[in-house]
Amino acid sequence: MPTLKLYQIDAFASQVFSGNPAAVVPLENWLPDATLQAIAAENNLAETAFFVPAGSSYDLRWFTPRQEVPLCGHGTLAAAYVILRHLAPSASGVEFTSRGGPLAVTRVDDDFTLDFPRLDLESTPAPPAALARGLARQPVEVFRVSSADPNYYAVYDDEAEVRALKPDMGALESLHPFGVVATAPGAVSDIVSRCFAPSYGIPEDPVTGSIHCALTPYWAARLGRTALTACQASERGGWLRCRLSGNRVHLTGSAVQYLEGTICFGE
């Protein structure tokens, strides 16, 4: 019976049962896409990360329970954790190739720093009516990026408004392929956010690294500094340190391992 190693890592967390859980499945060669998707659906976590060795780096892909996505922060952090803790423990960093471009992760003690692309927000003068209906609270302004980051970004005046949101998931699901990010200035952090992606099988994502590729340059411009702290105000919650560096964004957080196991499938 074919078997695969499976790890579950709580990313952007300093202890288990917090941050964002991601499954990580190391591969020697790529399996059929249908098999990757079936494994991700079986795991039923926000993301399952798969990687294959490619010389001195790794090819990396991410799947939600419903489909593959072009960029994922917490899945990248989880994959780097597995490589740097289990497969190459003497290394201080790892490089990936992905649909989101070249990515790198470095480790210093318990901190992992992701080197990700900068994404710039553009105003959306006429957002879909389902967006305001789904959030049930009118944002000050709405932005989006492009197909590289299929999300609407709804900006509010303060953290209390973001925390008070009780989304209509049916309305937000109708926005597919777009998810929705709500953000505001933080009360004890520079940035606060929440992220909803029900059409991807993720009603609310606990901590979403990739959205900070867009939130970091936006709030850096508004707040007048390039180093920011960010809190994602989900039930599990998570913290990131964000730094804008030209056309790149550096996201720093920690991670902890929840489980290690074996996937058994086929004959």
Report the amino acid identity of residue 131: L
Domains of the chain: 3-117+252-264 (3.10.310.10), 122-246 (3.10.310.10)
Radius of gyration of the chain (CA): 18
Question: What sections of the chain are H helices per DSSP?
Answer: 33-43, 73-82, 129-135, 159-164, 169-173, 212-223
C-alpha–C-alpha distance, residues 23 and 236, integer Å: 17
C-alpha–C-alpha distance, residues 211 and 188, integer Å: 19
Q: How confident is the model at residue 256 (pLDDT cuts 50, 70, 90)?
A: very high
**How high does pLDDT run on average in the chain?**
95
Task: Quick: pLDDT tens for 120-176.
Answer: 999 988 899 999 999 999 999 999 987 668 899 999 999 999 999 999 999 999 999
Query: Residue 168 phi/psi, 5° resolution?
Result: -85, 100
C-alpha–C-alpha distance, residues 9 and 72, integer Å: 14
Closest to 75 (Cα-Cα) out of 23, 111, 37 = 23
**Tokens 């709804």 map to which residue?**
154
Query: Which CA distances in Å does 15 have to 225, 227, 254?
Result: 30, 24, 9
Q: Is the pLDDT of residue 88 over 70?
A: yes
Query: Residue 82 phi/psi, 5° resolution?
Result: -65, -45
Q: What is the 3-state secondary structure (H, E, C) of 165-207?
A: CCCCHHHHHCCCCCEEEEEEECCCCCEEEEEEEHHHCEEEECC
Q: Which residues are catalytic?
A: 47
- Looking only at the bridges linking them, the beta strands covering 93-97 and 122-123 are unpaired
Q: Which residue has the higher pLDDT, 52 or 148?
A: 52
C-alpha–C-alpha distance, residues 234 and 181, integer Å: 12
Q: Is 176 exposed, middle or buried (0-12, 13-18, 19+ CB in 10 A)?
A: middle
Structure tokens at 83: 């490589």
Task: Quick: pLDDT tens for 101-129.
Answer: 999 999 999 999 999 999 999 998 889 99
C-alpha–C-alpha distance, residues 56 and 230, integer Å: 32
Cβ neighbours around 40 below 10 Å, total: 26
Structure tokens at 140: 């000050």
Mean pLDDT of all residues in 48-55: 97
pLDDT at site 125: 83
Task: Quick: pLDDT tens for 185-227.
Answer: 999 999 999 999 999 999 999 999 999 999 999 999 999 999 9
Closest to 12 (Cα-Cα) out of 230, 223, 204 = 230
C-alpha–C-alpha distance, residues 155 and 159, integer Å: 10
Closest to 127 (Cα-Cα) out of 91, 155, 106 = 155
pLDDT at site 266: 67
